[in-house]
Structure 1
Amino acid sequence: VRNALDSVKADLPAQMESPSVTKVTVQSAALVTYAIRSANLNETELSWFVDNDVTKALLSVSGVGQLNRVGGVDREVHVDLDPATMASLGVTAATVSAQLKSVQADTSGGRGEVGSTRQTLRTLGAVASVEDLKGLRIPLANGQQVRLDDIASVKDSYADRSSKAYFDGQPVIAVEVKRFNGFSDTGVAASVDEAMNQFAAGHPNVQIDEAYSTVGPIIENYNGSMHMLYEGAILAVVVVWLLLR
C-alpha cells in the first residue's frame, strides 16, 4: 500500500499533507467512553483541555493505544481574501498562499557548538498569534508590501463540526479509549478508571462521567461462567458421594 501511494504522490495536490500508512495495532471498538463537561469552561477551552490534559493523562496508562475525541471544536484561523482589493493591488491568491506557507514552515538553522558538543539547530517559522498573522507582509509586483489584513479578513475561529456528543440530554465532549492488541480488556479498563479518577480529583471544575464500557458485560459473563462451574463441581461431588455410599 505504501509503495502504491508513493507512486502517485506526484499527482496529488501540492498543499495536501503526505498520506500516512501505519499498521493497526489497536482494537477498532472503544473499550470505554467518558463524557466530559464543565460549567466554568466554554466549548473551545474544554476542547483544548481534553486534547491536551486528558489525553496526556490517559495515554500514559499501559495498554492504552488510541484516544478519539467526539464533539467539541478544533481551533482554526480563517483568512478570507478580498478579491476587489487584491485585483487593484495586483496580488494573487497564490502569492498569499505561498507567503503563508513560508511563515509556517520550520527551516534548518545550521549547527551550533557548545564546548565540544555539536548540535543541529532548527528555526521555527510559525507565527505566535493571530495579530502577528494579520501583520504578515505580502509582496507586490512593484516591490512594495502590504499587510495581510489590508487585503483579507483574518479571524480566530474554529473548524466545521464533524461530530457531536450528548450525555443525559446535555452536550458534552466524549473521549473514546481504545487498547493495544495483546492487552486485557479488564486490566486496561481498571487502569484507565484509576487514572481518570485521580485526574478528576485534581480538576474539580470539570465533571467526568463514564458513559459507556464494554467491560461490564465481560465481567458479568465471567462471573456467570464461574458460578456455573462452581455449581457443576458441587453437583459432581454430591453425585459421586451418593454413588459411593
Structure 2
Amino acid sequence: MIRWFAKNDIASNLLLVAIVLAGLYTAFNKISLEVEPSHEIGEVEINMRFRGASPQDVQEHIVKPIERTLRDLPGVKLIDSKARSGSANIDVEAEEGVDLRELRDEVETRIGAINTFPGETERPEVHIPNTSNWREVLTVAITGELSETELYKTARRIENELLNLPEISRTDMRGNQPLEISIEADDQKLSDYGLSFEDLVGAVRRSSLALSAGSLRTPVGSIMIRTDGQAYTQDDFAKIVVTAADGAQIRIGDLATIKDGFEDAQMMTRFNGKPAIMIDVLRAEDENAIKISDAVHRYIDQTSDFLPSGVGVSAWDDESIRIRGRLSTLGNSLLMGAGLVLLVLGLFLRPMLAFWVVIGIPISFAGGVLLMPYFGLTANTMSIFAFIIVLGIVVDDAIITGENIYTKLREDLTPLDAAVLGTKEVATPVTFGAITTIVAFIPLSYFPGFWSAWTSQIP
C-alpha cells in the first residue's frame, strides 16, 4: 500500500486534495459551533403558583399531594421539590432509557386528577427542560429610567426585532415582573345588583378554568384531553358573566374596573445601576453560536441610535467568546507548529521534505473533521481541546517519519525507495504510539450520566 501510493503520486495528491476539500465542506456545513456539548437532563419539571401562600402552606397543599401521586410512577428515579413563598418547583428525574415525553404526559395526567388544590392556586406547568434542544448564546440587556410598562414595551419590541433576524430562532425574556390583571369592584354597583365580591370571585373561578381530562392511548401515541376556558386578557375577564339575585346576567366589566399591569415587585433586575430587562438569545443544536453572536452585535450597533432617549442596549455574558478563544488557540498552534517544523526541518533536512511534512498536519486534521459528524461530535470547547492535544502527536509523527526518509536518502537510495523504506521502518512504532494514546482516552467515552456529554468529545 505504501509503495503503491509512493509510485502513483497523482492518485496520492488527488486523495489529499479530496480529504482537504471534504474536511472544509464538513467544517462549514455539517458541524455546528457551540460552546458546550449538547446534553439532555432526563427530568420533567413542574411549576405551580399559590399566590400569597407561605412556604409551609405551599409544601402542605401543593408539594405533598404531588409527591404522593407521583411516588409510585414507573420510570421515576428521584423527586426533588422546592417550596417557596407563593410557588412550588418539583423536578422529577427519570431513570435511564425512559421516554421523557411519555413520562411528562403521565405526570400531567396524574397532577390533573388531584382535586385537593386550594382555589388560589394556578394551573400547574409541566414541561421537559429545553437543555438538549436550546442553549443560551448571550444575553441582551435593555436598560433605562422608564416606567415599568414603557421598559417592558421597549424590551418586547427589541425581542421581536431580534427574532426577525434570520440567524435567531428563539429568545427568552426575564427580569420583568409577571403580568397581572387586577379587578377592582365598584361597591355601589355590586349593591345595586344584590351581589357581593365573593360572587365575582366565584364567577372568575368557574369561568376562567382549564381542566385535564386524562389521556387517550392510540396506536400512534397518547392524546391529552383537556378543556381550556382560561381567561388571559383584560377583555376576556370583562366578558365573564355574573348572575344577580334576580337572575339578571351582568358582565364583570360592568361591575368592576379591570386593569392590565404587573405584579408587585418581589425582585428587581438592574444592569450598570439602571433598571433592566434581559433577553436571553438561544440557539438550536444545528445553529452556529458565533453567527448568532455576530448578528446580535450588528443589531445593537445599528439600533442604538434609534432607541428612545435614555434607553440603552448592551450584550453581555457572550458564551461564543470561549469558543472563539479555543478556535484562536487551535489556529495559532497550527500556524506556530507548522512554521517551526518547516523552519527546523528546512534547515537540517531538505526544504521539499520539510514542506511535505508540514502539509501532512492540516490533512490529518481535515480527515478528523470529516469523520466528526459520523460520531455525533460538534465543534465545541471540548472537541477543540482534543484537537489541540492531538496536534503535538501529529507533529511528532510527521517529524519522525520525515527524518527517517531523509536518513535513507543520505544512504544513496532513490527518492522512491527512501520514501517507501523510511516510512515502513517507522510505520509500526508510529501506529502503535497513536493506538496507545487512543486506548488511554477511550474510557472517557463510557462516563455515566451527566458528564458523558463532555468527556465523550475527547476520544
Q: Over aligned residue pairs, what C-alpha RMSD do you find?
A: 4.0
Q: CA deviation at 1:5?
A: 2.9
Q: CA deviation at 1:232?
A: 0.8
Distance 1:154 1:208, change over 3 A: same
- Structure 1 residue 44 and structure 2 residue 146: aligned? no
Gaps of 5+ in 2: 1-102, 211-230, 351-459
* Corresponding position of 2:330: 225
Distance 1:207 1:75, change over 3 A: same
- Structure 1 residue 194 and structure 2 residue 298: aligned? yes
Q: Determine helix, strand or coil for the equivalent of 2:242.
A: strand
**Residue identity in the other structure for 1:2:** R
1:31/1:213 contact within 8 Å kept: yes
- Structure 1 residue 34 and structure 2 residue 140: aligned? yes
1:26/1:65 contact within 8 Å kept: no
* Corresponding position of 1:244: 349
Q: CA deviation at 1:148?
A: 4.8
Q: What is the CA deviation profile of residues 111-150 of structure 1, one whole-angstrom value per residue up to 9, with x for unaligned ones?
A: xxxxxxxxxxxxxx987669x94x9763223324677589
* Corresponding position of 2:113: 10
1:164/1:171 contact within 8 Å kept: yes
**Residue identity in the other structure for 1:208:** V
Gaps of 5+ in 1: 106-124
**Larger RCO (CA within 8 A; separation ≥ 6):** 1
Q: CA deviation at 1:89?
A: 3.8
**Which structure dedicates a bigger proportion of its chain to helix?**
2
Q: Which of residues 279, 302, 307 is equivalent to 1:203?
A: 307
Distance 1:66 1:225, change over 3 A: same
- Structure 1 residue 66 and structure 2 residue 170: aligned? yes
Q: Determine helix, strand or coil for the equivalent of 1:141.
A: coil
Larger Rg: 2
- Alpha-carbon distance in 1 for matches of 2:104, 2:233: 33
Distance 1:38 1:144, change over 3 A: same
2:140/2:314 contact within 8 Å kept: yes
Q: CA deviation at 1:194?
A: 2.2
Distance 1:82 1:36, change over 3 A: same
- Alpha-carbon distance in 1 for matches of 2:308, 2:197: 51
**Residue identity in the other structure for 1:37:** T
1:44/1:75 contact within 8 Å kept: no
Q: What is the CA deviation profile of residues 62-82 of structure 1, one whole-angstrom value per residue up to 9, with x for unaligned ones?
A: 453432223233432223679
1:47/1:74 contact within 8 Å kept: no
- Structure 1 residue 168 and structure 2 residue 272: aligned? yes
Q: What is the CA deviation profile of residues 140-190 of structure 1, one whole-angstrom value per residue up to 9, with x for unaligned ones?
A: 233246775897675554114464322222222222111111212111111
1:44/1:74 contact within 8 Å kept: no
- Alpha-carbon distance in 2 for matches of 1:128, 1:151: 14
**Residue identity in the other structure for 2:134:** V
Q: Determine helix, strand or coil for the equivalent of 1:64.
A: coil
- Alpha-carbon distance in 1 for matches of 2:295, 2:104: 35
**Residue identity in the other structure for 2:138:** V
Aligned residues: 218
- Alpha-carbon distance in 2 for matches of 1:126, 1:67: 22
Distance 1:20 1:202, change over 3 A: farther
Distance 1:156 1:242, change over 3 A: closer
Deviates most, 149-158 or 58-67: 149-158
In the superposition, the TM-score normalised over structure 2's length comes to: 0.39
